[in-house]
Amino acid sequence: MSDDAPVRHPPSFKRLCDDAIQRFRELAAAEPMKRGHLIPVLRGELAQIDDWIEERDIRSTATFAREQALLVNAWSALQSIDMDRGGPHVRRYVDRAIADLEQVAG
């Protein structure tokens, strides 16, 4: 398996990723002062994705490091959104997180 080949995740994992993607979209669409309550929800969803990966122990697969890096990028984007809730960069951070999660979902 090459490093670029996605891991085939089950539908339940893809749903976790899709839920987080949807929540990021809701975050981008929300008024700046209403974004705060969505951030903890997203933290929980990203934690579930991370837990799923650790539970399945896919470290032996060639794409583990890549998927972990993408998930870390999504976490980083969420932290940036938290600091810039009302700022002009939220949309860019959301787009980045969504792209990373779409790649993780496969």
Q: Is residue 70 part of a domain?
A: yes
Task: Count structural domains, the chain.
Answer: 1
The pLDDT of residue 7 is above 80: no
Whether 17 is in a domain gets the answer: yes
DSSP state, 7? P
Q: Is 30 part of any domain?
A: yes
The answer as to whether 6 is a domain residue is: no
State whether residue 4 is helix, strand or coil.
coil
**Position 5 in a domain:** no
Report if residue 1 sits inside a domain: no
| Predicted TM-score (pTM) of this structure | 0.86
The residue range of the domain holding 53 is: 11-105
Residue 30: both structure tokens together = 């929300």
What is the distance between the terminal CA atoms of the chain, rounded to a whole angstrom? 14
Please check whether residue 72 lies inside any domain of the structure.
Answer: yes
In a domain, 3, yes or no: no
pLDDT, position 57:
61
Q: What is the pLDDT of residues 40-99, one digit of tens each?
A: 999 999 999 998 887 776 666 667 778 888 999 999 999 999 998 778 899 999 999 999
Task: Indicate the residue type of 35.
Answer: R
Q: Which one is predicted more confidently, 54 or 102?
A: 102
